[in-house]
């Protein structure tokens, strides 16, 4: 079993009357259980086989190849399946709505079954996920993960239906979502990935699919610890302003807490390999008197019924403004990274709506924040969409020649953050 | 021998909200308030007061009206021979875990003085010096969390050994001892404070000192970072029956001179028991504002 460690970054000093407590909690898992516990996993690959996947033809061929690569990465003993999705979902392998235990023979058979895939029909992502949920249910007790590939919008069911499905499946399995080409909707796939605690990304060229699937499946196989929750205890009378993962990507968790008692809520974190994530918690507490010290929150990593690690978030009230006005570097950094993601998404939205002023302001602000925090990856993506005149002040011009791929890449990757570096402020 | 260690704890409950505390809790599981002591040691709540009445000697420790926690502590012990050992400590409020420092210091010093009152062959002044040293060592052991701008756990200490007609008093800081015998009202201790040093050096008049912002800036204390200063003792052999009073500044702030404090005692009915005197003095401090924790011990001496 993996070992978890935590570190807490905060300025615990509050001015008299102050009530908002912010902290960044870094959680690191050493992933030591990797080799031994992978057979407890279950994996499903969901391939979009709607008509558009056949145009160009190589798209379906690339998806088939990517799925083959993914199957090869599945370790012996892992429960496995493949689903083909159109306006309905179909179990490709095994075809009886269950999962099969991986072995060399099974992998060969599964790859043969992929030959039968044809590109025809529509897109109903909710029905694909529902079938995945049913198949995972036949392998109880395993840590379940799916890869979903689509190339289009969810046209053959309502947004409400998809929301209902997601609400039902939340916590049942984790799903990484990939959009190939530029005809899919970022916000739609992001909603699926967020609800199912997975990542979302664009695969611009079909040829890049195989490498991406390999990376996803290898990462999934490296996840050794499943069913981990982040538990936040707060004192009586306190309220949780927000809880969000802030690294490696921003994931809003605030609304996803499940109370285990009136003072503690569990937030899902899915599976962990050898990795480190940062969380930003913001808690409002009842102000204390000068010199009072309070436990404003306790962040615990819970696996099953056991506490694997915990971090204490404190508040100390002081009249000394030099102490209380200092903003913790990590808190400031991630507040900026969250604003960066918001600015990009709002800026792109405004641009689509033809609101040039708002788009310029928001994307300019994004450039400034990316530059300040040393988020070079995001900066590069921004530069494909705007001409930067002065990064320090966020002075930019919207480019007119931008491609849809650049725009969608910036949108999907807007939530990728960087950690506090020595040069960052 | 009737003996008792009293620290100002009321049980295993949170000082802020009263919720029960588990062993080893550092913070209340309900309200999050800090619990200074690994062995839960709350000392708050509205008007919390601890009284110990041992007939010829009594002590009262009161939270006061402003502080949300009592950082004073005391130890009082009376032998069958009517010998008395008493220690009062006042946790320094700008320090971490001042209440724990005061409690542990009073307890450690109390053990040493308890042996001295039970064994007449022991030198009282030496016993006081040993008791203070034991208090220092106990406070060094106090665990506390690192906090910027907070000093190490520390406290003041005033103690007395009363054997027959001999009274020996020792102190560190600004907790005081007084002698009252109807004719005389005398402060036995001299505060380890900037104000007293100013008076001693002729820089301040006592009136100026009383108004000085440094009145409460002490120049010696019990704690790991205490300065190297002599720890003072004083002895007296009263000829008339009288009362020895030990107290923290939570009381003497409201009656700064021996005369004023003696006046408060004189106003009480003749023959008031030590417990009644201690209670009345603590009540007076609260009536006058209760701005700090108040601890007072009263010992009847009949040579």
Size of interface A-B (CB pairs under 8 A): 44
Give Cα separations from A273 to A28, A269, A374 (angstroms).
9, 12, 26
Determine the distance in angstroms separating the CA of B14 from the nearest CA of chain A, rounded to an integer. Answer: 12
- A287 close to B (CB below 8 A): no
* ipTM, two decimals: 0.72
Please check whether residue B148 is in contact with residue B197, taking contact to mean a CB–CB distance below 8 angstroms.
no
Residue with tokens 């992998």: A107
3-class secondary structure, A24 = strand
Contact A295 B32 (CB under 8 A): yes
Determine the distance in angstroms separating the CA of B20 from the nearest CA of chain A, rounded to an integer. Answer: 14
- The CA distance from A300 to B72, in Å, is 36
Contact B68 A237 (CB under 8 A): no
Residue A158 exposure: Cα atoms within 13 Å on the Cβ side? 3
Which pair of structure tokens corresponds to residue A112? 């043969």
Tell me the per-residue pLDDT of A26-73, one tens digit each, with 9 for 90 and over: 999 987 764 445 568 999 999 999 999 998 888 999 999 999 999 999
- B23 close to A (CB below 8 A): no
Q: In the beta sheet, which residues pair with residue A48?
A: A85
Residue-level length of chain A: 425
- A328 close to B (CB below 8 A): no
Contact A323 B93 (CB under 8 A): no
Residues B247, B252, B255, B258: what is their CA dihedral angle, to the nearest 10 degrees? 60
Q: What is the pLDDT of residue B9?
A: 35
Tell me the per-residue pLDDT of A75-117, one tens digit each, with 9 for 90 and over: 999 999 999 999 999 999 999 999 999 999 999 999 999 998 9
Nearest-CA neighbor of B156 among B87, B244, B212, B59?
B87
Contact B28 A235 (CB under 8 A): yes
The strand pair at A258-261 and A264-268 is best described as: antiparallel
Which pair of structure tokens corresponds to residue A345? 């998404």
- B32 close to A (CB below 8 A): yes
Determine the distance in angstroms separating the CA of A233 from the nearest CA of chain B, rounded to an integer. Answer: 9
3-class secondary structure, A405 = helix
Q: Which residues of B touch A295 (CB under 8 A)?
A: 26-28, 32-34
- Burial of A1-14, coded b for 16+ CB within 10 Å and e otherwise, reads ebebebebbbbbbb
Residue with tokens 């007395």: B160
Contact B32 A289 (CB under 8 A): no
- B149 close to A (CB below 8 A): yes
The strand pair at A228-233 and A4-9 is best described as: unpaired
Q: What is the pLDDT of residue B1?
A: 38
Residue A82 exposure: Cα atoms within 13 Å on the Cβ side? 28
Which pair of structure tokens corresponds to residue B270? 């003749």
Q: What is the pLDDT of residue A99?
A: 95
Please check whether residue A63 is in contact with residue A27, taking contact to mean a CB–CB distance below 8 angstroms.
no
Q: Cβ–Cβ contacts within 10 Å for residue A292, how many?
A: 18
Residue-level length of chain B: 303
**For residue A127, what is the enclosing H or E element?**
helix A125-137
- The CA distance from A121 to B206, in Å, is 98
In this complex, which of A289, A296, A323 lies closest to B32 when CB atoms are compared? A296
Q: What is the pLDDT of residue B2?
A: 37
Nearest-CA neighbor of A419 among A373, A384, A377?
A373
Per-residue pLDDT of chain A (425 residues; tens, 9 = 90+): 678 999 999 999 999 999 999 999 999 998 776 444 556 899 999 999 999 999 888 899 999 999 999 999 999 999 999 999 999 999 999 999 999 999 999 999 999 999 989 999 999 999 999 999 999 999 988 889 999 999 999 999 999 999 999 999 998 999 999 999 999 999 999 999 999 999 999 999 999 999 999 999 998 988 877 778 999 999 988 999 999 999 999 999 999 999 999 899 999 998 898 899 999 999 999 998 888 889 999 999 998 888 989 999 999 999 888 888 888 889 999 999 999 999 999 999 999 999 999 999 999 999 999 999 999 999 999 999 999 999 999 999 999 888 999 999 999 999 999 988 654 33
Contact A294 B34 (CB under 8 A): yes
- The CA distance from A262 to A283, in Å, is 15
DSSP A51: G
3-class secondary structure, A13 = strand
Contact A235 B147 (CB under 8 A): no
- The CA distance from A193 to A200, in Å, is 6
Q: In the beta sheet, which residues pair with residue A310?
A: A300
Q: Which residues of B touch A19 (CB under 8 A)?
A: none
- The CA distance from A348 to A359, in Å, is 6
DSSP string, B286-299: HHTT--S-EEEEEE
- B119 close to A (CB below 8 A): no
The strand pair at A79-85 and A89-93 is best described as: antiparallel
Q: Cβ–Cβ contacts within 10 Å for residue A17, how many?
A: 8
Contact A323 B148 (CB under 8 A): yes
Q: What is the pLDDT of residue B146?
A: 45
DSSP string, chain B: -EEEEE-S--SSB-TTT--B--TT-SB-TTT-BB---SS-----STT-EEEEE-SSEEEEEE--SS-SS--EEEEEEE-TT--EEEEEEEE-TTBTTHHHHHHHHHHHHHHHHHHHHH-TTS-HHHHHHHHHHHHHHHHHT------TT-BPS-EEEEEEEEETTEEEEEEESS-EEEEE-SS-EEE-----BHHHHHHHTTSS-HHHHHH-TTTT-BS--BSTT--S-PPEEEEE--SS-EEEEEE-HHHHTTS-SHHHHHHHHHTSPTT--HHHHHHHHHHHHHHTT--S-EEEEEEEE--
DSSP A326: P
Nearest-CA neighbor of A216 among A173, A166, A177?
A177
**For residue A334, what is the enclosing H or E element?**
helix A329-352
Search chain A and give the residue with CA nearest B19.
A236
DSSP A249: B
Selected residue of B14, B32, B64, B153 to mutate for chain A interface (largest A Cβ count, 10 A): B32
- The CA distance from B253 to B291, in Å, is 9
Residue with tokens 């819970």: A302
Contact B32 A234 (CB under 8 A): yes
Per-residue pLDDT of chain B (303 residues; tens, 9 = 90+): 333 333 333 345 676 777 777 656 778 888 888 876 433 223 333 457 888 988 899 999 998 888 878 889 999 999 888 899 999 999 987 666 788 889 989 999 999 999 999 888 889 999 999 999 999 998 887 765 444 445 678 899 999 999 988 999 999 999 999 999 988 999 999 999 888 887 887 777 777 777 766 666 888 899 887 887 778 899 999 989 999 999 999 999 999 899 999 999 999 988 899 999 999 999 999 999 888 999 999 999 988
- B34 close to A (CB below 8 A): yes
């Amino acid at each position: 079993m993996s070992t978890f460690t935590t570190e807490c970054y905060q300025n615990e000093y509050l001015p008299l009357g102050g009530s908002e407590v912010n902290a960044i909690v870094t959680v690191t898992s050493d992933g030591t259980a990797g080799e031994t516990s992978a057979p407890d996993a279950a994996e499903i690959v969901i391939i979009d086989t709607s008509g558009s996947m056949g145009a160009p033809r190589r798209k379906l061929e690339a998806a088939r190849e990517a799925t083959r690569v993914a199957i090869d990465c599945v370790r012996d003993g892992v429960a496995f399946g493949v689903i083909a999705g159109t306006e309905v979902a179909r179990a490709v392998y095994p075809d009886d709505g269950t999962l099969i235990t991986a072995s060399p023979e099974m992998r060969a058979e599964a790859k043969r079954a992929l030959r039968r895939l044809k590109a025809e029909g529509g897109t109903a992502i909710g029905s694909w996920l529902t079938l995945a949920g049913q198949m995972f249910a036949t392998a109880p007790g395993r840590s379940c993960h799916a890869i979903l590939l689509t190339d289009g919008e969810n046209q053959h069911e309502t947004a409400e239906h998809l929301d209902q499905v997601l609400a039902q499946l939340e916590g049942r399995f984790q799903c990484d979502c990939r959009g190939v080409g530029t005809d899919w909707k970022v916000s739609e796939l992001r909603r699926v990935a967020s609800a199912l605690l997975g990542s979302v990304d664009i695969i611009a060229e079909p040829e890049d699919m195989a490498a991406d699937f390999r990376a996803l499946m290898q990462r999934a196989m490296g996840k050794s610890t499943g069913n981990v929750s982040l538990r936040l205890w707060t004192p009586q009378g306190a309220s949780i302003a927000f809880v969000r993962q802030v690294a490696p990507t921003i994931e809003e968790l605030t609304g996803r807490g499940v109370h285990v008692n009136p003072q503690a809520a569990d937030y899902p974190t899915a599976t962990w390999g050898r990795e480190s994530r940062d969380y930003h918690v913001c808690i409002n507490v009842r102000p204390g008197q000068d010199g009072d010290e309070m436990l404003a929150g306790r962040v615990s990593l819970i696996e099953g019924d056991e506490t694997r690690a915990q971090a204490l978030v404190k508040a100390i009230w002081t009249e000394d403004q030099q102490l209380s006005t200092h903003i913790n570097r990590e808190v400031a950094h991630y507040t900026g990274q969250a604003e960066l993601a918001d600015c990009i998404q709002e800026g792109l939205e405004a641009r689509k709506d033809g609101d040039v002023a708002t788009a310029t302001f928001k994307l300019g602000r994004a450039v400034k924040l990316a530059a300040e925090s040393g988020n070079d990856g995001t900066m590069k993506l921004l530069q494909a969409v705007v001409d930067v005149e002065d990064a320090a002040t966020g002075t930019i011009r919207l480019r007119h020649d931008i491609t849809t791929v650049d725009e969608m890449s910036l949108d999907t990757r807007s939530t990728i953050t960087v950690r506090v570096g020595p040069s960052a402020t | 021998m009737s003996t008792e260690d009293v620290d100002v704890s009321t049980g295993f409950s949170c000082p802020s909200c009263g919720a029960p505390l588990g062993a080893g809790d550092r913070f209340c599981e309900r309200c999050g308030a800090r619990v200074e002591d690994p062995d839960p040691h709350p000392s708050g709540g509205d008007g919390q007061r601890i009284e110990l009445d041992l007939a010829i000697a009594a002590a009262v420790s009161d939270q006061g009206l402003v502080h949300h926690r009592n950082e004073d502590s005391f130890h009082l012990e009376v032998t069958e021979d009517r010998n008395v050992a008493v220690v009062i400590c006042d946790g320094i409020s700008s320090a971490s875990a001042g209440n724990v420092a005061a409690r542990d210091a009073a307890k450690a010093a109390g053990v040493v003085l308890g042996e001295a009152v039970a064994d007449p062959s022991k030198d009282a002044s030496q016993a006081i010096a040993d008791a203070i040293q034991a208090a220092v060592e106990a406070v060094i052991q106090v665990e506390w969390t690192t906090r910027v701008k907070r000093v190490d756990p520390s406290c003041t200490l005033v103690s007395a050994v009363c054997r027959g007609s001999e009274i020996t008093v020792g102190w560190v800081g600004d907790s005081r001892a007084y002698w009252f015998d109807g004719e005389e009202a005398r402060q036995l201790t001299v505060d380890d404070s900037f104000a007293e040093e100013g008076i001693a050096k002729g820089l301040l008049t006592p009136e100026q000192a009383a108004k000085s912002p440094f009145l409460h800036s002490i120049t010696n204390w019990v704690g790991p970072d205490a300065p190297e200063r002599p720890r003072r003792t004083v002895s007296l052999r009263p000829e008339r029956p009288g009362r020895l009073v030990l107290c923290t500044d939570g009381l003497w702030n409201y009656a700064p001179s021996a005369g004023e404090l003696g006046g408060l005692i004189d106003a009480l009915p003749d023959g008031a028991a030590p417990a009644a005197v201690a209670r009345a003095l603590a009540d007076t401090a609260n009536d006058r504002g209760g701005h700090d924790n108040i601890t007072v011990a009263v010992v009847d001496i009949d040579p």
